[in-house]
Structure 1
């Protein structure tokens, strides 16, 4: 199953309440991570603490409080196949953009993505698919520029780079 289809299934199954267009794109970021094989370890306020990696759960959590803040969102994930490596995702709403930053536990390099809200959000009715436009492009951006960076183990990366 393609990541795009799986991401939409995640959105439909979780049935999130969206307050604004930024909520829709932030939840698409979350759904793309879940569809890419990650599990959620923390959401919302606990992720904004001084040491978010130590405050996160070691087991999967729900989406409660994911959008408690008006203009920022945060999640911690680990990949199902690499449970020890955690990934911090913080999203910041700025005007008509959602800025997405990702950092792996113990990494020095972060990954950044700017998403133009107007490119991806539509005024939809009760059907979640109608809340988005260009959904496949949105999921592709998130997957290629953010989540794929945390799916391959360091050992595989270093052996690939040595070739």
Structure 2
């Protein structure tokens, strides 16, 4: 399951730019899937293609907000030797962001669904983009809502310890990356 701390760390590490409040919540949804142990296979139009990527290669976040009114992500996970693919679509409907998640490989035929009032989770300073921690007034509540409504139903055997599908803490993996940045990027932490 995702934790608030891990989700915020993933958001900070990704350093996304946002065009609107819905994008801020959609990116937190994306970070929650990563924190829960899923890998990103495609974003935007590529996630919705008739022939989605099946090679199992991770991709970056490029194109995650290319479509107007929706944010689309294709994730994969390997559990007990089986590859699973999940399509997550975040759709803007007025002041709400609806989240639909469909298991493309499994027995789940109906998508999991969650509707979020965006302003319930964002700070009042709409222009705040320099400090990602101050973007969200209730990130903990958002992550808890995602965990109980969607993530727990996708991975029922995973506890709330912050460990994802792969049995290792996503937070530990991120900490290793942040504490040991590649030398050629000039990153100072």
| TM-score normalised by the chain length of structure 1 | 0.85
Structure 2 unaligned spans of 5+: 158-189
Distance in 2 (CA, whole Å) between partners of 1:17 and 1:104 is 28
| TM-score normalised by the chain length of structure 2 | 0.74
Distance in 2 (CA, whole Å) between partners of 1:125 and 1:108 is 38
CA shift digits 1:103-153 (9 cap, x unpaired): 001331210000001101122341001111111000111111112222247
Give yes or no for the alignment of 1:140 onto 2:144.
Answer: yes
Distance in 1 (CA, whole Å) between partners of 2:20 and 2:110 is 31
Distance in 2 (CA, whole Å) between partners of 1:77 and 1:132 is 24
Closer/same/farther in 2, CA of residues 20 and 81 from structure 1, 3 Å limit: same
Distance in 1 (CA, whole Å) between partners of 2:87 and 2:27 is 15
Q: Secondary structure at the match of 1:146?
A: helix
Q: Which has the larger share of helix?
A: 1
Q: CA deviation at 1:86?
A: 0.8
- Identify which of 102, 109, 127 aligns with 2:131: 127
Name the counterpart of 2:93.
Answer: 94
Structure 1 unaligned spans of 5+: 154-163
RMSD between aligned residues: 1.9
1:8-87 alignment, distance < 5 Å? 8-51=8-51, 54-79=52-77, 81=79, 84-87=83-86
Closer/same/farther in 2, CA of residues 20 and 56 from structure 1, 3 Å limit: farther
Give the number of aligned pairs.
Answer: 151
CA shift digits 1:25-79 (9 cap, x unpaired): 000000011111111111111112235xx43542111101100112101111123
